[in-house]
Amino acid sequence: MFNQLNRRNFMTLAAGTALAATVPMRGFAQSTYPQKDITYLIPYNPGGLSDNISRLVGAELTKATGKNVINDYRPGAGGAIAANYYVGTKPDGYTIMQSTNSFYAIIPKMTKVEFNPDTDLTPLVLIGDAPMVIAAHPAVPAKTLKELIDYAKKNPGKLSYGSSGRGTVGHLCGEWLKAKAGADMLHIPYNGTPEAMQACISGEVQIMFGPESAPQIQAGALKGIAIMGDQRWSVMPDLPTTVESGIPGWAPRSWHTVTVLSKTPDDIKKKLSDTINGFLKTDEVKKKIVNFGLIGGIEDLAGVRKRANDDAAEFGKLIAEAGIGLK
């Protein structure tokens, strides 16, 4: 309970250290890494999904290594501030960063950054995919993706979609749908998901993308149209995927990972990746990942790198075609 700290938590630091000392060493017993506490960089404000994930991963890492994992929050500029800071730290595996595929595929193309995701950052694991649900206001006369596209084509400029901000996966989902459907829709950026959700429920915008709409759909405040990609979601098993609805191939996706600097020694990368994958496979952690609204999955170092590269290529194409990238 106490061994998960954030840097403001100077008051309970002593208590946490005392408690951690009593936790037996497991997993890393024969190895030299880690010798000291690990700093966990969180590129967002406390309280969000990334924070929840980091607290879970941090607590499990502490269990596995016997070392404290200390959260360091550096929110801002969609994560760019934390990542810029991160590339300046020592690549020794004692600073890890909570991240999403945006750090590899979107942020460097939309914001001025001081890192190259291909050479500076390495994703360690796949923690889970956030199912990007396409949700619509009940007044939109469409029940399926096909009907929605037809309606959008017949009424150019009438539909608008809300996102939690410019350059978020939600924004790019809309750009993707526009490109695939050849329909004209207006993007309205909001300041975070709750604001965008409120706008969609009240009808200020008609469409929204993301897992957060699930409870609203279940309560009838919004209607579910489809889920992006080729994976259905157990929370809403009846919702078809975009692939099933007639748009084959890659669709914008959002997944969570833990990142280290690429210059980190390979054995430390592998050890961290294996350890995290080790507890991601346990039923207890799996259940928590599902509670967070994610679809769990396991990838090794090569598999998760391929995911990052695929997304970088596809999002890159999408951003270039939409003309919204860094000029």
Partner 1 sequence: MLDLATTFGGVVHGFGVAFEPTNLLFAFLGCMVGTLVGVLPGLGPTATIAVLLPLTYGLPPVTGLITLAGIYYGAQYGGSTTSILLRLPGEASSVVTALDGYGMTKNGRGGAALAIAAVGSFFAGTVGTLFIALFGPMLATIVLKFGAPEYFMLMVLGLIASVVLARGSVPRAMAMIMLGLLLGMVGTDLNSGQYRYTFGSNELLNGIPFVPLVVGLFGVADILGALENQVKEKIPPAIGKITSLWPTREEVRESVPAAARGTLIGLFLGLLPGGGALMSSFVAYSVEKRFSKTPEKFGNGAPAGVAAPESANNAGAQTAFLPLLTLGLPSNAVMALMSGAMLVQGIVPGPRIMTSQPDLFWGLIASMWIGNLMLVIINLPLVGIWVQMLKIRYHILYPLILVVSIVGVFGVDFSIFDVYLTAAFGLLGYLMNKWRCEPAPLILAFVLGPMMEQYFRRSLLVARGDLGIFIERPISLVMMIITVALLISIALPFFRSFRKEAFVE
Q: Which pair of structure tokens corresponds to residue 96?
A: 């890890």
Q: Which is closer to partner 1, CB of 53 or CB of 247? A: 53
- Can you point out the beta strands (E) in 15-146? 38-42, 69-73, 95-100, 121-123, 128-130, 133-136
Q: Which pair of structure tokens corresponds to residue 74?
A: 């550096």
Q: How many other C-beta atoms lie within 10 A of the C-beta of residue 178?
A: 20
Interface with partner 1 (CB under 8 A), residue from 92, 150, 195, 274: 195
Residue 225 backbone phi and psi in degrees, to 5: -105, -50
Interface with partner 1 (CB under 8 A), residue from 181, 186, 298, 322: 186
Q: Which stretch binds partner 1 (CB under 8 A): 106-114, 142-150, 276-284, 313-321?
A: 106-114
Interface with partner 1 (CB under 8 A), residue from 293, 301, 307, 312: 293
Q: How far is the CB of 241 from partner 1 (least distance, A)?
A: 22
Q: Can you state the angle between helices 266-280 and 283-291, rounded to 10 degrees?
A: 80
Binding mask 207-236 for partner 1 (x = CB under 8 A): -------xxx-xx-x---------------
Residues near partner 1 (CB under 8 A), total? 60
Q: Is 282 in the site for partner 1 (CB under 8 A)?
A: no
Q: Is 155 in the site for partner 1 (CB under 8 A)?
A: no
Interface with partner 1 (CB under 8 A), residue from 27, 91, 189, 296: 189
Edge to edge, the sheet with strand 133-136 lists 186-189, 160-163, 207-209, 133-136, 223-227
For tokens 């928590």, the residue is 288
Residue 315 is inside which H or E element, if any?
A: helix 301-322
Q: Which is closer to partner 1, CB of 3 or CB of 122? A: 3
CA 160 to chain centre: 24
Q: Which is closer to partner 1, CB of 4 or CB of 242? A: 4
Closest CA to 96 of 47, 60, 132: 60
The answer to whether 131 and 222 are in contact (CB under 8 A) is no
Q: How many other C-beta atoms lie within 10 A of the C-beta of residue 306?
A: 12
Interface with partner 1 (CB under 8 A), residue from 69, 133, 201, 258: 201
Q: Which amino acid is at 178?
A: K
What is the spatial distance between Cα 261 and Cα 121, in angstroms, rounded to a whole number? 5
What is the spatial distance between Cα 83 and Cα 97, in angstroms, rounded to a whole number? 8
Q: Which is closer to partner 1, CB of 27 or CB of 48? A: 48
Name the 3-class secondary structure at 214.
Answer: helix
Q: Rule CB under 8 A: which of 32-91 touch partner 1? A: 45-49, 51-52, 55, 59, 72-77, 80-81, 84
Q: How far is the CB of 256 from partner 1 (least distance, A)?
A: 14
Q: Which is closer to partner 1, CB of 209 or CB of 250? A: 209
Q: Which pair of structure tokens corresponds to residue 85?
A: 């800071």
Q: Which pair of structure tokens corresponds to residue 136?
A: 């619509």
Q: Which is closer to partner 1, CB of 91 or CB of 165? A: 165
Q: Which stretch binds partner 1 (CB under 8 A): 19-27, 201-209, 278-286, 308-316?
A: 201-209
Q: Which stretch binds partner 1 (CB under 8 A): 26-34, 108-116, 265-273, 278-286?
A: 108-116
Residues that bind partner 1 (CB under 8 A): 1-2, 4, 6-9, 11-12, 45-49, 51-52, 55, 59, 72-77, 80-81, 84, 110-112, 157, 160, 165-167, 186, 188-192, 194-195, 197-199, 201-202, 204-205, 214-216, 218-219, 221, 288, 291-293
